[in-house]
Amino acid sequence: MPLWTLHGNGRTVEPGKVVHPSERLSWGATIAIGAQHVVAMFGATFLVPILTGFPVSTTLLFSGLGTLLFLVITRNKLPSYLGSSFAFIAPITALNAGKALETPLQITQALLGIVAAGVLLAIVGFIVQKAGVRWIDKLMPPVVAGSIVALIGFNLAPAAWNNFNQQPELATVTLVAVILFSVLFRGFLGRISIFLGVVVGYIVAALTNQVSFDAVAKAAWIGLPQFHLAGIGDGLAWAAVPMFLPVVLVLIAENVGHVRGVATMTEDPSINKHTGRALIADGVSTTLAGAFGGSGTTTYGENIGVMAATRVYSTAAYWVAGLVAILLAFSPKIGALFNTIPPGVLGGVTTALYGLIGVIGIKIWVDNRVDFSRPVNQYTVAVSFVIAIAGFAMGWGNFQLGAIVIGTVAALVIYHLGNFIARVRKTGADDGGPIPAVGQLGGDPLDAEAR
């Protein structure tokens, strides 16, 4: 029995139809769409190791391997690319005072945190596979989920400024390019505005002699990626593990959202049954990456955009994308090229990127119509945000808690304990659920009739 059945004539997608995960177009078209997925994931996936100090080639390798593992564990029924998760940037860089890691020891310490997050995510996946996702909705209602996602982005704001301030003119050009590409182009090009902004900033830097290609010239075309082992025997590494655990909540939200999105776009509710397997797969991928030197992974919204634009949800295209990423990982010259990106370019793109992570959290509130007239919701967000933006920290000896951990705990405690007290006292300060929709999207129909 073939892995995929041919969709129609293999060349076109009929109006109103989609290519389902179990189908494919001709191999030529499938390879072309797979290449689009590589371009879509590339801009974000290579930025994570650049910003954290991880080897680019190694991160690409485990991104590709993770994608193939994801397809196997989800039984080839759930299309997704597993790229580098931005949620890991904050806890990783916290090991070096908010900067990219500079020594192999720091990398091995960070890897242990990634492994721990991956194992925990896989455990959650097994529970979801047995019990469903309703308990996650109870633990992380929209106001809490949105707060945790957003505070991770806002916590990174000082890192964006540090890079921006080193080359403000170049950073400004890059930032403007990112914004312009997002509003000038429709469809696929608009969705990869981050990647295109980096390209523009890099070209400007090269033309103004702000890029050195010496390391690129010395690097070999073909070679093994640079591997590191997680610091299992390092006490300081274990002390840093708590900083990484809140990232699991973000990965859960991203994976659940990805599965629901694919199920909706393909009009196939049965895809939702694979939510547990998706979490297990991402957990296994993240654990594998962390064990040997790669960054943690997550399902990529950029690739959802490609599927929406092409109406092709075939998992065959993701096998192509994963294999291409693995091949690229065995070129040290490509890794060296990415390491030449100047701080100004990174500062410009991360000013937008980190803010967008915050906006994703806010969008969760909007989509679920969170009622911010309720004090419990107000304080859940207010306290966790100030903790994250200000960079609160506390510690006991080698055991340190960063702003993301403290902010996450604050959001969970304030919401659940606050709700309990408010409901017992019947003060009306609790979360009363989504506010009613007012009018229609796009304006008040009464005003439209009056006009």
Mean pLDDT of 202-223: 90
How many residues belong to the chain? 451
Any idea which residue has 């580098």 for tokens? 84
Mean pLDDT for the chain overall: 87
- H runs (alpha helix) in 94-230: 104-131, 134-139, 142-155, 157-166, 168-184, 187-191, 193-207, 214-218
* pLDDT higher at 45 or 437: 45
**Which pLDDT tens digit goes with each residue over 203-213?**
999 999 998 88
Q: Is the pLDDT of residue 289 over 90?
A: yes
Identity of the highest mean pLDDT range in 26-30, 120-124, 366-370, 395-399 = 120-124
Mean pLDDT of 81-106: 89
Instruction: Tell me what pLDDT residue 187 has.
Output: 64
Identity of the highest mean pLDDT range in 204-213, 247-256, 257-266 = 204-213
Q: What is the 3-state secondary structure (H, E, C) of 424-443?
A: HHCCCCCCCCCCCCCCECCE
Please write down the long-range contacts of 393-401, taking CB distance under 8 Å and 24 or more positions apart: 398/235, 398/236, 398/239, 399/239, 399/242, 400/239, 400/240, 400/243, 401/242, 401/243
Give me the DSSP letters along 326-376: HHHHT-HHHHHHHTT--HHHHHHHHHHHHHHHHHHHHHHHHHTT--TTSHH
**Which pLDDT tens digit goes with each residue over 360-404?**
888 889 888 999 999 999 999 999 999 999 988 887 766 667 788
Instruction: Tell me what pLDDT residue 103 has.
Output: 94
Instruction: Tell me what pLDDT residue 397 has.
Output: 67
Residues 6+ apart with CB under 8 A from 451: none
Mean pLDDT of 178-204: 83
Task: Kindly report which listed range (28-42, 98-112, 138-152) carries the lowest average pLDDT score.
Answer: 28-42
**How many other CB atoms are there within 10 angstroms of residue 17's CB atom?**
12
Any idea which residue has 């494919």 for tokens? 24
**Which pLDDT tens digit goes with each residue over 237-249?**
999 899 898 889 8
- H runs (alpha helix) in 266-342: 275-292, 301-310, 315-329, 332-338
Q: Is the pLDDT of residue 447 over 80?
A: no
Q: How far apart are CA 315 and CA 9, in angstroms?
A: 18
Q: How far apart are CA 229 and CA 108, in angstroms?
A: 6
Cα–Cα distances in angstroms (integers) from residue 189 to residues 1, 183, 196, in the given order: 37, 10, 8
Q: Is the pLDDT of residue 302 over 80?
A: no
The pLDDT confidence band at residue 279, using thresholds 50, 70 and 90, is very high
Phi-psi region of 82 (alpha: psi -120 to 50; beta: other; left: phi over 0): beta
* pLDDT higher at 186 or 144: 144
**Which pLDDT tens digit goes with each residue over 328-344?**
899 988 888 888 889 89
Measured over all CA atoms, what is the biggest interatomic distance in the chain, rounded to whole angstroms? 72
